[in-house]
Amino acid sequence: MLHLHHSLRTALRRTARAGAALIAAAFVLASAGAIYEAAGNWIDARRFPQQGRSIQIGSLRLNLDCSGRGGITVILDSGMGGPALDWILVQPEVAKFTRVCSYDRAGYGWSDASPEPRTSRQIAGELKSLLDAAGEKGPFVMVGHSFGGYNVRVFAGRYPRDVAGMVLVDASHPDEGSRTDAVLSGAQLARQQQDERRDETWEQITEPLTIHLGIRRATVALGRKPSRHLSRRLQEEFLYLENMPKFMRTVRQEDAMFKISGVQAVAAGPLGERPLIVLTAGKPYEPDPLLTPQQIERQANIWIRELQVEEMRLSTRGEQIVVPDSTHDMPQDRPDAIVSAIHGVWTSVR
């Protein structure tokens, strides 16, 4: 019995030592990660200065980046998770024929995060205040990519005199989820929803730690696919902006309000006779591995031939242009198609 007690105490001591060693190792790794993150932020903040200028609207400072000259100004609104930098391949080309402004919505890039709900109505109001404070005069040609499509539609509904025309770039549709999910079986839909809930819960739990310890910086850097459209420096700048703690919080907040924003876009009503070009991506973005090729094709047809056509019909002067070699990331895949569409609408209203 004494031998057993001695052995147990020895085992406990060994376990304690091993545990202490693991804790020490974890502390060293955590410290190294925190130093890596702090150093990365310090370097990036100096490598990537603000593009644009900060404008005070109420308690917020929002970043507005305008260039070019012209009678009618073009306003660019990015998709969910997209800073003003999303338009880096589009804006310089538009600036060759007119004035054009991109901006960081609250919570992205060089703009402050906002305590207000991230609905399209709130965002449209902030954009209006930003343009007024900056002295930018309408009417504008509004351009919205993805979720930005909701925002510019709501903007047009709230401030009709400020909108001369519109370009929707593979823009979100309020019924996209229900209509494309209709091709899934019950089991597939349940699995998809389960995966989404698990991923969301895991992100909320781990995000503060992964950012502080530099884990997110490392995984995003390693996981980002090389782009044939963007230079290495631009890709690193995107990484810097996406690694800001406010970035993922804002993405989640916009996503949580996505359905409400869709309802607000519908309530904004049609555009009447104002010119509209709807650009539609012809290539699947990230096909769901749970789906069969037939289901993927059916979803693509619903998107291209139904949902996007319905958006074209928002205007009596609406036109749809399918861009066959572009994914949803059209601002990087085919910026020339966007520039051409903007020029077409701008020419018809100037």
Provide the residue ranges of all domains of the chain, joining segments of one domain with +. 53-186+223-349
Task: Name the superfamily (CATH) of residues 53-186+223-349.
Answer: Alpha/Beta hydrolase fold, catalytic domain (3.40.50.1820)
pTM of the model as a whole: 0.82
Tokens 């305008």 locate to 66
**Encoded tokens for 220:** 């995003």
Burial class, 21, CB count within 10 angstroms (exposed 0-12 / middle 13-18 / buried 19+): exposed
Give the pLDDT confidence of 147-196 residue by residue, as tens digits: 999 999 999 999 999 999 999 999 999 998 889 788 777 777 777 677 77
Beta pairing partners, 276:
166, 318
Give the pLDDT confidence of 74-130 residue by residue, as tens digits: 999 999 999 999 999 999 999 999 999 999 999 999 999 999 999 999 999 999 999
Sign of CA dihedral 321, 322, 326, 330: positive
User: Is pLDDT above 50 for 275?
Assistant: yes
What pLDDT is attached to residue 9? 40
